[in-house]
Amino acid sequence: MGLAPWESRGRRTFDLVWLSEPHARHSRNVRGNGAAAIAVYDSTQTWGKPDRGIQLFGSARETGAAEMTEAERVYGKRFPDYDRSEHTAYRLYLFRPRRLKLFDERALGAGTFVTARVARDGTLTWEGTDVYDPRA
């Protein structure tokens, strides 16, 4: 499973497309409640060294017939070897974030998290900044 950025009406958003088997647990969960979260980070980061990453919280769903062509184009652009005919049992899903939390300890300092709301057009609105002290 890989993620590809979705562009809506020529405008880049934070929406993401992924490919998955409909019977996979996460696919069943998406159908069951439509909520999803994604964490993106460098898994080779070392404990105690400056980390960075982003968490996205929002809604997810299987793409509909009207979106399928565009979803396949977006996914194929990100993964050029993708061939729909080799993955007929799989479905494309669309994730739309509503909120994000990011941390970049090199730029923001240790334990600092910035939270923002994501508008439908991808515009970010700062929501807050939290600083956590591990000794408190």
pLDDT tens-digit series, residues 111-130: 999 999 998 877 889 999 99
**In the predicted structure, residue 6 carries a pLDDT above the cut 80:** no
Q: What percent of the chain has pLDDT over 90?
A: 51
**HSE toward the beta carbon, residue 8, CA cutoff 13 A:** 12
pLDDT tens-digit series, residues 18-50: 999 999 998 999 999 999 999 988 889 898 899
Q: Is 123 contained in some domain?
A: yes
Q: Is 136 contained in some domain?
A: no
The CATH number covering residue 24 comes to 2.30.110.10
What is the number of other CB atoms lying within 10 angstroms of the CB of residue 122? 16
Q: Which domain, by its residues, includes 81?
A: 3-131
Q: Is 108 contained in some domain?
A: yes
**In the predicted structure, residue 7 carries a pLDDT above the cut 70:** no
Supply the pLDDT for residue 54: 93
